[in-house]
Structure 1
Amino acid sequence: MQKFIQLGEGYGDVFELEALIQNNHQRIKSGIYLHVEGKPSTFILVMAPVRGNFQALYTIYQGIPMTSKSRQKYKIINENLEKYNISKVEMTTRDPGDFHDRTQYFQYMLGVLRLNNLIPPLS
């Protein structure tokens, strides 16, 4: 079972993510950016499954600005991924606004991530 766990907002989310990477880098499978044109990107930190099939997917939901002026969060995350040799994937996805609510968007993304072999299939 994969579960999205949303981190805080503002710069607090990046500091939480940075601590997660530093303290759990041995459990991290990958970092995934989900880009939507003209909107801030979403970032997902994919953890290895624990205790059976539970897999945490820590996310910064639409909190990574991608304009040329404000890419500081993107830079901080990438530096941490590189420091611990964690693979990074970047992909373009549907706009979360296309969905009725955030839960539907996350269900859609679970399917996309499974189809692209970025997380394991349901078992």
Structure 2
Amino acid sequence: MQKFITMGEGHGDLFELEALISNNHGRIDKGIFLHTEKGLSTFLLVMTPVRGNFQAIYTIYRGILHKSGTGQKYKMIDGWCREHDIPIVEFSTRDPKDFHEKDQFYQYITGVLRLNHLIPPLT
């Protein structure tokens, strides 16, 4: 069972993400940047599954300006992941604004991640 945990959309989310990566890098499976054509990118920090197949996925929802890799938040997150040898996956997805609710976007992303074998299938 995967659970999306939204960290926020401001600067506090960055400080929390940095601490999470620094203190728990051994439990992190991968980082995923979800880019859209025109909007802000979303970042997912996928943890390894724990007790009972629970898998936390920490999210910075629509909070990262990508700009072909030159956005400041993007560079910071990319650097933290590389510093701790956390694999990074990047791809384009539908814009979260295409969905009426955030939960619908997360359901869509869960399907995309499972189809691409980036998270385990439903058991």
TM range (shorter): over 0.9
Structure-1-length-normalised TM-score = 0.95
Aligned counterparts of 1:96 and 1:82: Cα–Cα separation in 2: 27
Deviations 1:10-64 (A, max 9, x none): 1111111110000000000000000001111000000001111110000000000
Matches within 5 A, 1:21-100: 21-67=21-67, 71-100=71-100
Kindly provide the amino acid, as one letter, of the partner of residue 78 in structure 1.
D
Q: Which residue of 2 aligns with 1:116?
A: 116
Deviation, 1:78, is 0.7
Aligned counterparts of 1:52 and 1:31: Cα–Cα separation in 2: 22
Kindly provide the amino acid, as one letter, of the partner of residue 51 in structure 2.
R
Provide the identity percentage.
Answer: 63
Structure-2-length-normalised TM-score = 0.95
Aligned counterparts of 2:54 and 2:37: Cα–Cα separation in 1: 32
- Moved >4 Å (runs of 4+): none
SS in 2 for 1:7: strand
| Matched length | 123
Bigger fraction of residues in helix: 2
Q: Which stretches in structure 1 are left out of the alignment for 5+ residues?
A: none
